[in-house]
């Protein structure tokens, strides 16, 4: 597999077996808590992927392994074994994670996540159009940086900022938002412009275009991407940006469906568009010039 390599799976199996050894004493029979293998772990991950493909990821396992569920689940492994593996799966050595958590909130998944992220950058080449946006990985377990986002379908989960291909939707780079990291090697700024600068590192100097919404966009950011990174960009702007002329955010005297443009010497175009009376939308672009 290109994204999940044998090295990553071997690490997951090794860490999961440490957890299985820890909980084995809670079982009367040793065969109920046997060590896992790479083959079995591949099968378990494959069932998770299959549940997603069949749009059954939110179904109870009783339904998936029931007589009316897909045969592939019952044929691959027992429901009991699958639930046991999901309980014991680990991505790091729990014995020394306490020390690592002192300077890294992502310590339990840091190694596997960084390897997966590196594989995304290595094996996939984006088209000329990319998008920076945030997404929420559904999660309701215990986590110090779990987020609540009312606008997202899942509402509760892990917030992840991503750089993705606008055509194929494949991810090129990811950055998990874990609030403020302790001082150390993983302490980075969480400001929207700095997040974008981190995410675009794999496509620097490629001439690609980056699209983002008004949470990330700003005049200094699009100028930085154009001049320092050789990347064009398109996005919406918030009205409270200090770089925007006051006349651009006034709506009382503007007619419906009218646009107002301002062009800078650095190649930045800002448009104030009135879709309906009393409302306006601000757009910024370094992709479209005055020609």
Q: For 206-258, give the DSSP string.
A: S--EEEE-TTT--HHHHHHHHHTS--EEEEEE-TT-TTS-GGGG--TTPPTT-
Give the tens place of pLDDT for each residue, 185-203.
888 899 999 999 999 999 9
Regions of the chain with pLDDT less than 50: none
Instruction: Please give the Cα distance from 278 to 274 (Å, whole number).
Output: 8
Closest CA to 237 of 276, 179, 193, 198: 193
**134: Cα within 13 Å, side-chain hemisphere:** 17
Question: What does the pLDDT read at residue 57?
Answer: 77
Question: What does the pLDDT read at residue 237?
Answer: 93
Strand partners, 234: 211, 285
3-state secondary structure of 186: coil
Tokens 């609540």, located at residue: 148
Break the chain into its structural domains and give their ranges. 6-90, 110-285
Question: What does the pLDDT read at residue 290?
Answer: 54
Question: What does the pLDDT read at residue 186?
Answer: 87
User: Rg for the chain (alpha carbons), in Å?
Assistant: 24
64, two tokens: 């998936």
Strand partners, 137: 158
Question: What does the pLDDT read at residue 277?
Answer: 86
Question: What does the pLDDT read at residue 160?
Answer: 95
Instruction: Please give the Cα distance from 104 to 116 (Å, whole number).
Output: 18
3-state secondary structure of 259: strand
Closest CA to 235 of 207, 261, 213, 259: 213
The DSSP bridge pattern shows strands 129-138 and 209-212 to be parallel
């Amino acid at each position: 597999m290109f994204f999940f390599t044998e090295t990553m799976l071997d690490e997951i199996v090794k860490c999961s077996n440490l957890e299985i050894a820890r909980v084995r004493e809670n079982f009367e029979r040793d065969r109920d808590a046997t060590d896992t293998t790479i083959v079995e772990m591949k099968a378990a991950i494959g069932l998770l992927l299959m549940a997603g493909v069949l749009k059954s990821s939110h179904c109870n396992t009783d339904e998936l392994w029931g007589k009316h569920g897909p045969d592939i689940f019952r044929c691959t492994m027992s429901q009991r074994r699958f639930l046991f593996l999901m309980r014991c799966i680990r991505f790091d050595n729990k014995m020394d994670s306490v020390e690592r958590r002192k300077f890294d909130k992502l310590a339990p998944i840091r190694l596997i996540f960084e390897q997966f992220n590196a594989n995304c950058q290595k094996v996939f080449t984006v088209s000329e159009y990319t998008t920076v946006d945030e997404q929420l990985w559904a999660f309701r377990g215990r986590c110090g940086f779990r987020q609540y986002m009312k606008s997202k379908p899942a509402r509760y989960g892990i917030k992840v900022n991503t750089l993705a291909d606008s055509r194929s939707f494949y991810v090129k780079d990811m950055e998990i938002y874990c609030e403020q990291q302790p001082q150390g090697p993983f302490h980075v700024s969480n400001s929207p412009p700095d997040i974008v600068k981190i995410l675009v590192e794999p496509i620097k100097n490629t001439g690609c275009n980056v699209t983002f919404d008004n949470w990330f966009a700003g005049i200094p950011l699009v100028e930085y991407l154009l001049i320092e990174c050789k990347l064009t960009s398109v996005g919406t702007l918030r009205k409270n940006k200090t770089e925007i002329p006051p006349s651009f955010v006034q709506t009382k005297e503007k007619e419906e469906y009218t646009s107002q443009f301002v062009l800078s010497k650095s190649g930045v175009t800002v448009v104030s568009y009135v879709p309906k009376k009393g409302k306006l939308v601000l757009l910024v672009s370094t992709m479209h010039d005055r020609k």
